[in-house]
Structure 1
């Protein structure tokens, strides 16, 4: 039995910010497939947007999986195809290009978050926010080793150096976390253009008691008011009821 159709409400926004001339971010909202994705392209004008768009294009072909393992297998398969595609384009251009990716997969009352790079996934549950993903960055590795403090990390000169991405290395190394879905859960997927300007506490406050659309627009407005030094993409997913597979008319939107 296909249990993909969960009672979700989701919304996404993406903006080039106040400084960049081109938006190299992409996102995907496919509630019938149980899939939500943000991707932050790297490589400069044209290259970055091509990389993130390739990820979204390949993942958009997932269709309707038969089970949660099938959904994850399809996701990894499409991600590998995107990786190969980006590598081929990079070779033809003689320049490195790539993209971060952060994704939420949901089916059969379970979720899995998968990511490479510094685009993040947060979960707000019972009024408290937690970061589900773990940044693949040079500064995070230094923090994990205790080589620098959290305060030093805020001003570290190479704090945006990414250690994993799609299209950059020979193969992909995807991290993941999984768990049970609960009614009222809110997942926030965001590129680093969001977290550069908005704190975790502010994200929590924005999503607790409003719709995904209103929360996305509020968070985007905060980023732009504070200078928007990078592209910013935000996708919110709210669990509206019991994850029982009922065809409850999942809502999705974005701009």
Structure 2
């Protein structure tokens, strides 16, 4: 399983806490924007880490002309991280539109294959992991070969079950062909964007740059149905709150290494829930990412589709939120019906992360970027 290393956690003395009175001071540095589109209204907030307040390695993208919202988190440190997220933000629309022309030109078989890639992309076990390793010549250890074969068989079984579950989910959802096509467009567009970032990262001043990308594409079909295509590459998050029930769910998978270990059944869910008590699991959760745009290996975008109703809400967030608001206080802000303007809500969600930093709950200072809104 490939991995991308994030900056290590900054050491903090035991019990160090950001004084409560400083939370408001830190939040005054946040940039907050009102966002409006044909299918939603909302806001975005972004706050650079106090450790490098002059440089924000996060970005957000607002593309109202195509009803897409997104957040990006640059990886690579210093200039490379800052440039990577901005580059991904600025080039996303180009690759989305180019991929649309490619998908529209596909024959029926090609479009079916493209849709199958979308379904299979929801397995965190890649197809290459279940293929026999290429022989490098020389004598091999029969015991190692047997263990390797058994491991591949186990992973194959897990992957097949995941793909079958998602196939049944999409059959029940029965999205119209136009929505399936949009999902295929996003899948292809993100992979092509990754290739461009990888090429850009070969330049000396940008070596090793990469970026996460997580977003939502909103669609209203001619018969009035609304769909949300949530997509992600990397360890930023997307959440969906249902207006009818108030239930908040993670809308798409997160590529932090801990979640990958859970899906591979190498770590139990109970162990993962207590990751903070285990140095290895803590590192897997906070510091290791299995994929991002610009990595050497082509990414596998995670894409999920939901039918939406007016009043449903969503939240996109870089890991500065989820890595510090471990108790999920932000969900309270998301579901409150009397929370004031969307700019105030975006600020409140950001506050929940800064409060987690103040209470030494999680990883500590990081850039924090959120986009939140309500479906019209």
- Pick the TM interval, shorter chain: 0.7 to 0.9
What is the CA deviation profile of residues 166-202 of structure 1, one whole-angstrom value per residue up to 9, with x for unaligned ones?
Answer: 0002322111100211111101000000111224641
The offset of 1:224, in angstroms, is 2.6
Greater fraction helix: 2
The offset of 1:38, in angstroms, is 0.4
What is the CA deviation profile of residues 140-189 of structure 1, one whole-angstrom value per residue up to 9, with x for unaligned ones?
Answer: 12223152512442342332200011000232211110021111110100
Greater than 6 Å deviation, 4+ residue runs: none
The correspondence of residues 52-91 of structure 1 with structure 2, limited to 5 A, is: 52-61=85-94, 68=179, 71-72=182-183, 74-91=185-202
- In the other structure, the counterpart of 1:137 is 256
Q: Cα distance 1:147–1:207, how it changes in 2: closer, same or farther (>3 A)?
A: closer
The correspondence of residues 2-17 of structure 1 with structure 2, limited to 5 A, is: 6-17=38-49
C-alpha distance in 1 between matches for 2:87 and 2:303: 21
Relative contact order higher in (CA < 8 Å, ≥ 6 apart): 1
- In the other structure, the counterpart of 2:275 is 153
- Does the aligned pair in 2 maintain the 1:10–1:237 contact within 8 Å? yes
Q: Cα distance 1:170–1:16, how it changes in 2: closer, same or farther (>3 A)?
A: same
Cα root mean square deviation, aligned? 2.4
The offset of 1:128, in angstroms, is 1.5
Q: Give the alignment partner of residue 347 of structure 2, picking from 217, 229, 244.
A: 217
- SS at 1:46 equivalent: helix
- Does the aligned pair in 2 maintain the 1:58–1:79 contact within 8 Å? no
Query: Are residues 1:114 and 2:231 paired?
Result: yes
Point out where structure 2 has 5 or more consecutive residues left out of the alignment. 1-36, 105-177, 221-225, 358-363
Q: Cα distance 1:199–1:121, how it changes in 2: closer, same or farther (>3 A)?
A: same
The offset of 1:47, in angstroms, is 0.4
Give the number of the structure whose alpha-carbon radius of gyration is greater: 2
- Does the aligned pair in 2 maintain the 1:28–1:60 contact within 8 Å? no
C-alpha distance in 1 between matches for 2:327 and 2:64: 25
Q: Give the alignment partner of residue 318 of structure 2, picking from 181, 188, 191.
A: 191
Greater fraction strand: 1
Q: Normalization by structure 2: what TM-score?
A: 0.57
- Does the aligned pair in 2 maintain the 1:99–1:166 contact within 8 Å? yes
- SS at 1:235 equivalent: strand
Query: Are residues 1:45 and 2:97 paired?
Result: no
Point out where structure 1 has 5 or more consecutive residues left out of the alignment. 241-255
Q: How many residues align?
A: 235
- Does the aligned pair in 2 maintain the 1:115–1:176 contact within 8 Å? yes
C-alpha distance in 2 between matches for 1:212 and 1:198: 20
